[in-house]
Chains A and B, each alone.
Chain A
Amino acid sequence: MADVYPTPTPSDGEIELPGDTMIAHKHTYESVTDRIASIVLNQLGQPLPWYVMTGIGFLLLNMMMYAIVYLLFKGVGIWGINEPSAWGFDIINFVWWIGIGHAGTLISAILLLLRQQWRTSINRFAEAMTLFAVSCAGLYPLLHTGRPWVAYWMFPYPNILGMWPQFRSPLIWDVFAVSTYATVSAVFWFVGLVPDLATLRDRATNGYAKILFGMGALGWRGSATHWQRYETIYLILAGLSTPLVLSVHSIVSFDFSVGIVPGWHTTIFPPYFVAGAVFAGFAMVITFAIPLRKLYHLEDFITIKHLDWMAKIMLTTGLIVAYGYAMEAFFAWYGGDTYEMYMMKNRMFTGPYAWSYWVLIGTNILIPQLMWVKKFRHNLVILFLVCQSVSVGMWFERFVIIPISLHRDYLPSSWGYYTPRPFDYMMFIGTMGQFLFLMFLFIRFLPMISIFEMRELLHHEQLHKHDDHGHDHGNQAPTDTETVTPGANASH
């Protein structure tokens, strides 16, 4: 692959950054802006893998479109669901995708409130990941209904039927929760983009690009009065998104825990689901961060330190999830409820799906323990593979919860079995295609790192260095902007 984006310095491997430094090597406002904006303005063309991944995503998306259209014509019978397993891949994938989305909001909102500077270089694409994951997830509640064309009945509108939605059901709470989550995330993301769109508007040379970015930028001119209000709402949105993300996955967990099915009806679900969502989400963020930083030479901004912290959060939430599994088993044993005890025995040892439970334990609990070791956290191959293990593991967690509990509940004569069929797989892999396609379009057409926040971070770091070392690392903007090449340092 031709090296489309030049490396800023001789490759000296990954350097350990001292203390609180978040940006490797010397940068100026100009170089930070240039490095990120040049990807979008296509000044150096896109690397070949971008074309490959976008192409693959597009093909898989088309496969999904076929699966959806066939579903609309034929109905949910084309899937493997049956009685008693009325929910299968549809709901497993819904919860999996929504869970993945939560890391984006956590990074954007919660880490902002906790004043963690390291969120700066990852929050934009993590938030984009949230939006696209929610778009993939949202397909399922819509399409798994028997008559998706009347799915609008789930919203409370005055109608001639005289009917209203069942507000006492978690399924309707889901409708409101996921809709609100999608809307607020989109709004938060867009608000964060406005100043960067202004940057792109000002840098674009192509007339159409300038107009489109200009429309998105809404006339932003960087006025201090505007910035002050902007920061106010940004903080408020972060403060609103935090309880939102916690509530959304709790409400999703209510889809199960409010029901009386053994294996579902347990109070551990809301916190365990939320932790699991963060776990899966960070795995996905790292999955993207590792190749993207290499491909677009963003190692100065998304450093080993960032990956290290993300791995640590992943480990922590993985431990919470492990606690959740242990508690489920404990509740079943300690509670003494026949049905729940049987459910646990069936799930772990005697049932036809017991293999999946141990796959779950291996991928979700055992393998992530590698993250205790710093050397492994810093080894990008191992880190990447552990993240794939977590993604698979979190999928299996929902598999263990849904079909295993459904196929054998209270009445033995109703027991059954769930086997996914080709259309289940087509739709699932198709949603991955949708996700890939949207992510790569985003990478191409919008700044994947928040440029203005990186400038702020740069200034913050320069201030610290100034205090510590007593000599001036002040930013010197080159007087002739055309001669600045990506990553070039204005002063040595």
Chain B
Amino acid sequence: MSHTTNTLPLPLYGMVAEFDNEEDLIAATRAAKAAGYQKIEAYTPYPVHGLNEPDVLNLQDWKIPVITFLAGIGGAIGGLALQTFTSVIDYKWNVGGKPAFSWPQFIPVTFECTILAAALTGVVAMFALNGLPRPHHPIFNAPRFELASQSSFFLCIEAADGKFDREDTEAFLLAQHPLAVSEVEN
């Protein structure tokens, strides 16, 4: 999405601002969005719902619920198909005088297969969509970033953003009253 023809990675990943509470971070992120920056990301030690708002980072994932639901349906069909094939078609036999397709007796296993398929697929989808596992990411080069998983809240504006300018962005971030503003190398 870069406008330049530069194919080499930029030496700078972005500029990062550190805050000590979520309210300041949300306000700063909202300001960044309003200022026209697009490649912004927030890093927090716990999920901050205020960041999902449309005027902040506008995060709405519809893929995971859909994928999970479809996987559940697949699991149900698979479970029922498994039992139907094995007990009704391949090795059909009379158990307690029940009809061959004794569907009430097939319910428990079908149900369990539904849950299993939905849960496993959903979790794999979540990690895959998040691009995890990913051992290294440039943001880990930010100073004090280890606090992002403990007590600090970070806002990062990436250098790849069209509006990014080293001095202007730094000034903009400083205007949000963070604890610190730093460069992040790639």
Binding site for B on A (CB under 8 A): 28-30, 33, 156, 162-168, 170, 172-173, 176-177, 179-180, 183-184, 187-188, 191, 195, 198-199, 201-203, 214, 218-233, 236-237, 240-241, 243-244, 247, 251, 254, 452-453, 455-456, 459, 474-477, 479, 481
Contact = CB atoms under 8 A, between A and B. Distances in A.
A33 B118 contact: no
Contact of B120 (A187, A243, A459): A187
B45 A199 contact: yes
B54 interface: no
A180 B20 CA distance: 42
Nearest to A199: B149
B105 interface: yes
A236 B68 CA distance: 8
Contacts of A247: 108, 111-112, 115
B6 interface: no
B112 A229 contact: no
A216 B69 CA distance: 27
B44 A168 contact: no
A218 B134 contact: yes
- Shortest 9 CB-CB distances between A and B: which pairs? A202-B146, A218-B133, A164-B86, A29-B151, A173-B108, A219-B134, A227-B47, A477-B20, A233-B126
A179 B115 CA distance: 11
Contacts of A236: 64-65, 68, 118, 122
Contacts of B59: 224-225, 228
B22 interface: yes
A230 B132 CA distance: 11
A191 B123 contact: yes
Contacts of B118: 236, 240
**Would you call the interface of chain A mostly helix, strand, loop, or mixed?**
helix
A33 B44 contact: no
A216 to B, nearest CB: 10
9 contacts: A30-B150, A30-B151, A165-B86, A167-B105, A173-B109, A173-B112, A199-B45, A221-B140, A233-B123
Given A221-B149, A229-B64, 12 more contacts: A30-B151, A173-B112, A219-B135, A219-B136, A220-B132, A220-B149, A221-B137, A223-B139, A224-B42, A232-B61, A240-B115, A247-B112
Nearest to B48: A224
Contacts of A179: 112, 116
A477 B151 contact: yes
Given A164-B91, A227-B44, A177 B136 contact: no
Interface of B: 20-22, 41-48, 51-52, 57, 59-61, 64-65, 68, 82-83, 86-87, 90-91, 95-96, 98, 102, 105-106, 108-109, 111-113, 115-116, 118-120, 122-123, 125-127, 129-130, 132-137, 139-140, 145-152, 179
Nearest to A220: B132
A452 B45 contact: yes
A456 B113 contact: no
Nearest to A477: B20
Given A226-B132, A232-B126, A236-B68, A452 B86 contact: no
Contacts of A156: 82, 86
Contacts of A224: 41-44, 47-48, 51-52, 57, 59
A214 B102 CA distance: 49
Contacts of A230: 47, 126, 130
A134 to B, nearest CB: 14
Nearest to A237: B119
B54 to A, nearest CB: 13
Contact of A240 (B90, B113, B119, B148): B119
Contacts of A30: 150-151
A98 to B, nearest CB: 14
B91 A163 contact: yes
A222 B151 CA distance: 11
Contacts of B130: 223, 225-226, 229-230
A111 B150 CA distance: 25
A203 to B, nearest CB: 7
Given A167-B109, A168-B87, A233-B123, A481 B147 contact: yes
Contact of B146 (A203, A244, A456): A203
Contact of B108 (A28, A177, A221, A453): A177
B51 A459 contact: no
Contacts of B139: 221, 223
Contacts of B47: 224, 227-228, 230-231, 452, 456
A221 B65 CA distance: 23
B109 A176 contact: yes
A326 B147 CA distance: 57
Contacts of A214: 135
Contacts of B132: 218-220, 226
Contacts of B60: 228
B87 A167 contact: yes
Given A168-B102, A176-B112, A453 B82 contact: no
Contacts of B123: 187, 191, 233, 237
Nearest to A184: B119
B109 A164 contact: no
Contacts of A166: 95
B45 to A, nearest CB: 6
A486 B123 CA distance: 34
B120 A183 contact: yes
Given A202-B146, A218-B134, A222-B43, A172 B91 contact: no
